């Protein structure tokens, strides 16, 4: 029996050290699984695996010890349960995301909604090499966006309104970088924009709403974390709409597909060709 192991791996079935056994990766988005999906996973792990699952470092789920002869049956049960295998190989991989503004008090953007949109648009897209996207809701950076080929981080640009301020100093107390100075006697508040983390804590802490803010998206490109670490670069100014983010992502993926070489991550491609071309492409896309 001829087995195309490369095709199986690309389809989420990763060969184990045990003969004709596979660890099956499942498709998830933003770490989200419904109860019904979890029931499907439970049933397959119990019937075809060894009764357990492995949670990957990128919010994925793998079911080990799927036997070669059971793959067809497993595929059928996954489809019936509203699930599918995950992606391996030179493709857009699982899109990771924290819980974001719908759940987390620090969240500034709806990470789950954005992850779903990007997943529907890009997941499993073939590229010169694997491509990882991570979305985090604020500067706490739980998803370590700079380690992704495309990292998206929620941020907030604070603005002070003098007429509403009572100079209580709450903003200065909560500022993690101590970049706000409140002079009650002089009735003056200053902020060091170079030190500001864009976390929004000053806005949330203000009892009189003297601090307001504009929520945005910081994008980083070309991050990797593995055998070779490279920190993603911020190649665009802060964006202020999901539409702009999606246009930038479209442009980055198209540019990588056109200019990347097989087995070459985005970071390595940028080291080879430089960033000027990608920057120009991104700027044109978000205008």
| Residues of the chain where predicted confidence (pLDDT) is lower than 50 | none
Which pLDDT does position 2 carry in this prediction?
83
DSSP one-letter code for 103: T
A 10 A CB-CB count for 21 gives 18
Which pLDDT does position 3 carry in this prediction?
87
**Spatial separation of the C-alpha atoms in residues 173 and 205, rounded to whole Å:** 9
Which pLDDT does position 131 carry in this prediction?
97
Helical axes 242-259 vs 276-286, angle rounded to 10°: 150
**Spatial separation of the C-alpha atoms in residues 282 and 259, rounded to whole Å:** 14
H or E element that contains 201 = helix 201-205
Given the structure tokens 């864009």, which residue do they identify?
Answer: 198
Which pLDDT does position 227 carry in this prediction?
83
Q: Which domains does the chain have, with CATH numbers?
A: 5-80 (3.30.70.3340), 96-155+215-286 (3.30.413.10)
Which pLDDT does position 87 carry in this prediction?
86
């Amino acid at each position: 029996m001829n087995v195309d192991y490369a095709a199986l791996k690309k389809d989420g079935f990763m060969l184990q050290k045990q003969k004709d056994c596979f660890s099956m990766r499942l498709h998830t988005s933003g770490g989200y699984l419904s109860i019904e999906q979890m029931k499907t996973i439970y049933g397959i792990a119990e019937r075809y695996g060894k009764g357990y699952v492995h949670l990957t470092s990128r919010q994925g789920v793998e079911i080990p010890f799927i036997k070669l002869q059971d793959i067809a049956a497993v595929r059928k049960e996954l489809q019936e349960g509203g699930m599918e295998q995950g992606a391996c190989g030179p493709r857009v991989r699982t899109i990771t995301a924290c819980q974001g503004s719908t759940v987390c008090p620090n969240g500034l953007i709806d990470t789950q909604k954005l992850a779903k949109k990007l997943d529907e648009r890009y997941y499993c897209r073939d590229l010169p090499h694997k491509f990882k996207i991570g979305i985090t809701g604020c500067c706490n950076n739980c998803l370590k966006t700079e380690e992704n080929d495309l990292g998206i981080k929620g941020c907030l640009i604070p603005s002070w309104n003098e007429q509403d301020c009572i100079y209580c100093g709450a903003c200065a107390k909560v500022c993690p970088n101590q970049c706000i100075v409140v002079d009650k006697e002089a009735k003056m508040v200053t902020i060091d924009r170079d030190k500001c983390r864009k976390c929004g804590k000053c806005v949330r802490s203000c009892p009189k709403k003297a601090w307001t803010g504009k929520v945005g998206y910081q994008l980083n490109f070309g991050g990797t974390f593995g055998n070779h670490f490279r920190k993603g670069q911020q190649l665009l100014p802060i964006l202020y709409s999901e539409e702009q983010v999606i246009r930038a992502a479209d442009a980055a993926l198209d540019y990588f597909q056109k200019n990347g070489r097989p087995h070459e991550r985005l970071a390595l491609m940028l080291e080879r060709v430089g960033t000027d071309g990608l920057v120009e492409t991104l700027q044109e896309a978000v205008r």
